[in-house]
Amino acid sequence: MKIGIPKEIKNHEYRVGLTPMAVLELTHHGHDVAVETLAGDAIGFSDEQYQAAGAQILNTAADVFDWAEMIVKVKEPQAVERAMLKPEHTLFTYLHLAPDVPQTQDLIKSGAVCIAYETVTDARGQLPLLAPMSEVAGRMSVQAGAHSLEIAQGGRGLLLGGVPGVEAAKVVVIGAGVVGQNAVAMAVGTGADVVVLDKNVDVLRQLDKQYGNRIKTVYSNKEALERHVLEADLVVGAVLIPGAAAPKLVTRDMISRMKKGAVLVDVAIDQGGCFETSKATTHAEPTYIVDGVVHYCVANMPGAVARTSTMALNNATLPFVLQLANKGAKQAMADNPHLLDGLNVCRGKVTYKSVADDQNLEHVSAEDALALI
């Protein structure tokens, strides 16, 4: 198969769809790979390394899209990229479609087969292609929150762990999945006072076993959520309903009653965000302030540590890229129901139920849509 890797163009996004090491695996299996020039340059993957792995280097994204049968990316395609998609393409990347109507419409119009990393599942019902970036973003969330708590950033002027004789800051993590667990680990490491909420008692049980009384685990209902958010210095939003728009758990009214200079880090912003006042920001301008509360809402947090993130992402995506390349998209998805769970848009039809529901669109099951390929 002909596999194309364009350079990422989202603001301060330096990850790349495939590393030279991953390209070598594909060329070794007899596939052809084309990489846009300088696609990995910012993170130390040169054009020469890609050529040594057997790839050809093309000058523009348009050349890559024209040549390739499958496009492997990191971030959801931007408008100029969507305009280059054709029905012959398989697109394999993060999509986060539920809160993104223009992207959904463009992918429908493209006729392409669009498989989203974030809804591919594994045998335990988890999300193996989201998990590595959630690990990165969860760890970064506490770093970003600590920085935002500094006075110069509009924060309360608190050090998360305090110092001897001065109490630690209170960190509240909403959602105890992969992002939440990694945020808790980092927050505990700083010495902060940590509370974590979830609706899944099993994950709270797990954290309770791991940390004992070093943290507080709390079942997430309206009363508990409000009480802890109002006491918080830093709140990390880490909830997910797979494929769907994030629930707005923290309302504008609650935010107006939070401590001035408190910080919200909305990691769930790529699914629309779980704070009512959240809107996506970029690494160039990561924060803004509403009612005295600092909001950090960067939708591609792992892009800031792009070398670590690219390698972690490739470890997870490569087996699926190989299946798609070796068998073709239709057969690979027919053979692997976990990969089929990734199918979001296929030949003009929305094939992921919660995306269709959130946008009032017709839904065709992924199984039925395979017949369209």
The sign of the dihedral angle between the CA atoms of 264, 269, 274, 276 is: positive
What residue 316 binds from Mg ion, ligand CC(=O)C(=O)O, ligand NAI, none (CB within 5 to 8 A, per partner kind)?
A: none
- Identify which of residues 155 and 237 has a Cβ nearer to ligand NAI in the complex: 237
What residue 4 binds from Mg ion, ligand CC(=O)C(=O)O, ligand NAI, none (CB within 5 to 8 A, per partner kind)?
A: none
Residue 309 contacts ligand NAI per CB under 6 A: no
* DSSP assignment of 325-369: HHH-HHHHHHH-HHHHTTEEEETTEE--HHHHHHTT--B--HHHH
* Beta-strand pair 70-72/2-5: parallel
Consult the annotation and say whether 278 binds a ligand.
no
Residue 300 contacts Mg ion per CB under 5 A: yes
Q: What is the CA radius of gyration of the chain?
A: 21
Consult the annotation and say whether 198 binds a ligand.
yes
- Identify which of residues 61 and 133 has a Cβ nearer to ligand CC(=O)C(=O)O in the complex: 133
- Identify which of residues 81 and 270 has a Cβ nearer to ligand CC(=O)C(=O)O in the complex: 270
Alpha-carbon gap, residue 181 to 286, rounded angstroms: 23
- Whether the CB-CB separation of 13 and 74 falls below 8 Å is answered with yes
DSSP 3-state of 240: coil
- Structure tokens belonging to residue 108: 């429908």
Phi, psi of 284 (to 5 degrees): -70, -40
Residue 302 contacts ligand CC(=O)C(=O)O per CB under 6 A: yes
DSSP classification of residue 7: P
What residue 247 binds from Mg ion, ligand CC(=O)C(=O)O, ligand NAI, none (CB within 5 to 8 A, per partner kind)?
A: ligand NAI
Residue 239 contacts ligand NAI per CB under 6 A: yes
What residue 199 binds from ligand NAI, ligand CC(=O)C(=O)O, Mg ion, none (CB within 5 to 8 A, per partner kind)?
A: ligand NAI
- Active-site residue, 96 included: yes
Alpha-carbon gap, residue 67 to 52, rounded angstroms: 20
Distance in Å, CB of 126 to ligand NAI, minimum:
7
Residue 296 contacts ligand CC(=O)C(=O)O per CB under 6 A: no
Consult the annotation and say whether 202 binds a ligand.
no
DSSP classification of residue 162: -
Buried-exposed string 354-373: b where 16+ CB fall within 10 A, e elsewhere:
bbbebbebebbebeebbeeb
Buried-exposed string 268-286: b where 16+ CB fall within 10 A, e elsewhere:
bbbbbbbbebbebbebeeb
Kindly give, in sequence order, each residue whose CB lies less than 8 Å from that of residue 166, ignoring residues fewer than 6 positions away.
none
Of 107, 118, 92, nearest to 321 (Cα)?
92
Residue 94 contacts ligand CC(=O)C(=O)O per CB under 6 A: yes
Residue 81 contacts ligand CC(=O)C(=O)O per CB under 6 A: no
Alpha-carbon gap, residue 203 to 356, rounded angstroms: 29
Distance in Å, CB of 130 to Mg ion, minimum:
10
Which of 31, 89, 96, 295 is catalytic? The answer is: 96
Distance in Å, CB of 242 to Mg ion, minimum:
14
Contact flags string 241-280 toward ligand CC(=O)C(=O)O, x per CB under 6 A: -----------------------------x----------
Q: Which residues are annotated as a binding site for NAD(+)?
A: 134, 198, 220, 239-240, 267-270, 298-301
List contacts with Mg ion (CB under 5 A).
270, 299-300
Q: Show which residues are catalytic.
A: 96, 270
Q: Which residues are annotated as a binding site for substrate?
A: 15, 75
List contacts with ligand CC(=O)C(=O)O (CB under 6 A).
94, 130, 133, 270, 300, 302
